[in-house]
Chain A
Amino acid sequence: MDLLVIGVVLLIVVALVAAPLRRPGTMVEEDAERAELEAARDAKYREIRDAELDHRTGKLSEADWRAMDRSLRAEAVEILRRLDAL
């Protein structure tokens, strides 16, 4: 019984780790730079939204928020342009 358990586990392990080696070139992966830019874009959107909430809850004055929002959106636009260029 013990040997049967070990044998079955061994077979499953070998099949699992060897599968990619039997089918090379089938890996689907996102382009690293695109993934990085998309993550940066999402983070920038979050920053814009946070700044907006900070403004609405009184932590940022109208002038400060407008300046910050303008610069954050410019940064977001730059990220979108780089994404489009890929």
Chain B
Amino acid sequence: MLTAGQGCLILALGVCLYGIGASLYGARTGRREWVASGRRAVYALAGTAAVAFVILEAAFLRSDFSFALVTSHSSTTTPAFYRATAVWSSQEGSLLLWLLLLSLWSSLILFATRRRLREIAPYATAVLLGLGAFFAALLVFLESPFDHTAGPLPAEGVGLNPLLRHPSMMIHPPMLYSGYTLFAVPFAFAVGALVARRLNADWIRSTRPFTLGAWFFLGIGIVLGARWSYSELGWGGYWAWDPVENASLMPWLTGTAFLHSVMIQEKRGMLKVWNVSLVLATGVLAILGTFLVRSGILDSIHAFGASTLGVPFLTLIAVMIAGSIFLVASRAAELRSAHRLDSLLSREAIFLLNNLVLVLLCVAIWWGTFFPLIAEAVTGRRASIGPPWFDRFTVPLTLVLVLLSGIGPLIAWRRATAANLRRNFVAPLGVATAALAVALLLGAGSQPDALVMFVFAGFVVGGMGQELVRGVRARRVTAREPLPLAVVSLVRRNRRRYGGYTVHVGMALLFVGIAASSSFADERDVELVPGRSAEVGGYEVEYVRPTSELVAAPNGRLERIDFGAILRVSKDGSATTLRTERSFFPSSAPELGPVSRFFEGEATSEVGLDAGLREDVWMSVAPDTRRLGPRVAEGDRVFSGAAETLPARERDVLLAEALRGLVRSYTAEPPPATFRLLVSPMVTWIWLGAIVVFLGALIALWPSPRTVGRRVTAAYTARVGREARVPA
């Protein structure tokens, strides 16, 4: 099926090019049948990309090693669960996933707007197909997933990178790519609106669910990546300001800014230049995120030159930036605001401040991410910027952001009065003061940044609680509903508002978790032998005994060797047992011996974790396998010679027995093991906060039932109609 897959990609590229031409011709001549044909080209792109993806997915699931990509990224020992997702562990599979997701979202928005946005949609179609053509061309000419394996077909593949064998990694890349590709939708419609000079809020309203969806999926992807880092990488943290992490955070920040500032345009007709610039920047940053991961530039500026993808991506980004600047500059007159800011004490002003902070955060992160590359390009030497540099900028900006997320919802649009401020700020300030007192009582005074974050988060939670209570009270007065029904009705009728408030509460909880865990964690690296203990964060950790295991895949082949430890963790008379492991996956490097290849391949950590609302007790082990070295070397010598004298099957049986002996010897005469012990407060709040954030986003995203919409519309039409009969 290699030819079929490649044929589908060529068809996809052809369909994109045709669709671009048809859409632009239809838009220029006003011939709607050509516009419709261009739109259908997007559906056709989705179909061809889906067929290509299914062919590749089937090859992975069948372990069809005639596909070079399957040979290099999967194996028969890779569990089926992970074989299905190994597709996007490769460069080629990732690009195909990008194309598939882009075509699906594009089809969805173009179907939804097929009878609307007549002037804008054809240009948006051309932009979306332009992006599709770019990725299809990469797949056809540079990174084909349908290359045949060179030489005779191997019996076994290289296997999936063991670090990626984690449930989060199943979902993390599709979530990130969904976010990136969904951001292409508002980008394309912004370009369409600029080209067609239809710059009212209509295109914003139509693409709003896609913008929010992009923010939602990208956010989930970021959190899943953090969770994977915490539980799989064995260093104990969840965020390292790694360029790949930063690449996904930057469009999320500008997307957050856009979701806020766009409300000002919808309500007041203001900030058109700012909004369109933000959405264009977000689209460019989404492509930049893919570029950072896929171009090789992260390793070194020189790797960029060697990469096949660097130049095409950089060209696309340059075209997007230049085109965006030209369009915004040439439409300056149409982008003039309909109103001016009434007061600096208004929700608009707070939103503007929030936008400024979010953009400053993005700029700081961009500079920190690219500085090493810029320095290398200028000086020839690689400079590095670590977490302290990022913290210096991001901590104060985040504190301001959390405070603004509490203030914004409490003050009115257009203007706030002193009486309004008094009435709305007293209760949240009371909660903030209570949070301060609790934090000081718990000893948080030693870390001023964390203390301020707790206070601001208290203010946010207090403010949102007050909003809900007042809203429910008002609802009960007017509708005479019981309390639970009033809560549901209020949220249901004002999904954007209360979905947004829920997001703010979730972010406050998340930042409390980050502040507490990064300020008050106790971490120790210790070397222990069985029976010895160490102390961390008030806990006594005893190394009870070592563990070791040969783990076979369902087909009987050896998948990995685990060396681990059982630890007893006790505090104040209560105790629990934790298990941590280091797994060694066999390498296929030909220079390694038949035994040493099982110890020299990729290794992953399974951390021991006792998670709780108050604190996490986290530990990982680095087993010292050096003591096995002489026996491994002896095994290499014996089995290298046996390759010529023994039949393969007999040799495999003996090799398995030898490995079992080696593994048993680790537990029989355990060497000292190095442990990383970490007691980190409130990490669970990060994951809970994220869940609350995504719940809020779902509330805001969920479409209003049609019946409710009609009823509301009818009620207000009647009201406004009555007003119309009254002389002014």
Chain A window 6-43, contacts with chain B (Cβ cutoff 8 Å), 1 for yes, 0 for no: 10011011001111110111011110100110011011
Chain A residues with Cβ below 8 Å from B31 are 24
| Chain B interface size range | 35 or more
Chain B residues with Cβ below 8 Å from A28 are 115
Q: Is the interface of A mostly helix, strand, loop or mixed?
A: helix
| A54-B471 in contact (CB<8A) | no
Shortest A5–chain B CB gap in Å is 4
Check if B7 is an interface residue, CB within 8 A of chain A: yes
| A53-B712 in contact (CB<8A) | no
Check if B419 is an interface residue, CB within 8 A of chain A: yes
Q: CB within 8 Å of B: which of A59-86?
A: 59-61, 64, 68, 73-74, 76-77, 80-81
Question: Within the complex, which residue of A3, A36, A56 is in contact with B471, where a contact is CB–CB below 8 Å?
Answer: A56
| B721-A80 in contact (CB<8A) | yes
| A50-B474 in contact (CB<8A) | no
Name the residue of chain A whose CB is nearest to the CB of B470.
Answer: A57
Chain B window 493-509, contacts with chain A (Cβ cutoff 8 Å), 1 for yes, 0 for no: 01001000000000000
| B716-A30 in contact (CB<8A) | no
| Chain A interface size range | 35 or more
Chain A residues with Cβ below 8 Å from B713 are 42, 45
Chain B residues with Cβ below 8 Å from A45 are 712-713, 716, 720
Name the residue of chain B whose CB is nearest to the CB of A31.
Answer: B118
Chain A residues with Cβ below 8 Å from B712 are 45, 49
Q: CB within 8 Å of A: which of B407-429?
A: 410-417, 419-420, 423-424
| B2-A47 in contact (CB<8A) | no
Check if B576 is an interface residue, CB within 8 A of chain A: no
CA distance A59 to B467 in the complex (A): 10
Question: Within the complex, which residue of B40, B202, B412, B728 is in contact with A59, where a contact is CB–CB below 8 Å?
Answer: B412
CA distance A18 to B37 in the complex (A): 6
CA distance A10 to B37 in the complex (A): 15
| A20-B412 in contact (CB<8A) | no
With A2-B3, A49-B716: A12-B420 Cβ-Cβ less than 8 Å? no
Check if B142 is an interface residue, CB within 8 A of chain A: no
CA distance A21 to B467 in the complex (A): 54
Chain B window 50-75, contacts with chain A (Cβ cutoff 8 Å), 1 for yes, 0 for no: 01000100000000000000000000
CA distance A76 to B719 in the complex (A): 10
* Most chain B CB atoms below 10 A, which of A17, A36, A56: A17
Question: Within the complex, which residue of A2, A9, A17 is in contact with B41, where a contact is CB–CB below 8 Å?
Answer: A17
| A5-B11 in contact (CB<8A) | no
With A18-B37, A54-B412: A30-B116 Cβ-Cβ less than 8 Å? yes
CA distance A1 to B2 in the complex (A): 11
| A53-B51 in contact (CB<8A) | no
Chain A residues with Cβ below 8 Å from B719 are 73
* Most chain B CB atoms below 10 A, which of A1, A30, A59: A59
| A73-B723 in contact (CB<8A) | yes
| A2-B1 in contact (CB<8A) | yes
With A17-B37, A42-B713, A60-B420: A1-B4 Cβ-Cβ less than 8 Å? yes
Q: CB within 8 Å of A: which of B1-45?
A: 1-4, 7-8, 11, 15, 18-19, 22, 31-37, 40-41, 43-44
Shortest B247–chain A CB gap in Å is 34
CA distance A80 to B414 in the complex (A): 24
Chain B residues with Cβ below 8 Å from A23 are 33
| B474-A13 in contact (CB<8A) | no
| B411-A59 in contact (CB<8A) | yes
Shortest A29–chain B CB gap in Å is 5
Question: Within the complex, which residue of B115, B717, B723 is in contact with A29, where a contact is CB–CB below 8 Å?
Answer: B115
Chain A residues with Cβ below 8 Å from B19 are 17
| A9-B8 in contact (CB<8A) | yes
Chain A residues with Cβ below 8 Å from B115 are 28-30
| A9-B11 in contact (CB<8A) | yes
* Most chain A CB atoms below 10 A, which of B116, B411, B497: B116
CA distance A59 to B423 in the complex (A): 8
| B720-A13 in contact (CB<8A) | no
Question: Within the complex, which residue of B36, B47, B416 is in contact with A13, where a contact is CB–CB below 8 Å?
Answer: B47
Q: CB within 8 Å of A: which of B480-498?
A: 494, 497
CA distance A36 to B120 in the complex (A): 12
Check if B266 is an interface residue, CB within 8 A of chain A: yes
| B200-A36 in contact (CB<8A) | yes
Chain A residues with Cβ below 8 Å from B18 are 17
CA distance A58 to B425 in the complex (A): 11
CA distance A35 to B8 in the complex (A): 38
Name the residue of chain B whose CB is nearest to the CB of A80.
Answer: B720
In the assembled complex, 28 residue pairs joining A and B whose CB atoms fall closer than 8 Å, in A order, are A1-B1, A2-B3, A2-B7, A5-B55, A9-B7, A9-B48, A17-B18, A17-B22, A17-B37, A18-B37, A21-B33, A21-B34, A24-B31, A27-B35, A30-B115, A32-B118, A35-B116, A45-B712, A49-B494, A49-B712, A50-B494, A51-B413, A56-B470, A57-B474, A58-B470, A59-B424, A61-B417, A76-B716
List residues of chain B with CB under 8 Å of any chain A CB: 1-4, 7-8, 11, 15, 18-19, 22, 31-37, 40-41, 43-44, 47-48, 51, 55, 114-119, 200-202, 205, 266-267, 410-417, 419-420, 423-424, 467, 470-471, 474, 478, 494, 497, 712-713, 716-717, 719-721, 723-724, 728
A-B interface, 9 closest residue pairs, ranked by CB to CB distance from nearest: A56-B474, A20-B36, A6-B7, A2-B3, A57-B470, A5-B4, A2-B4, A24-B33, A27-B32
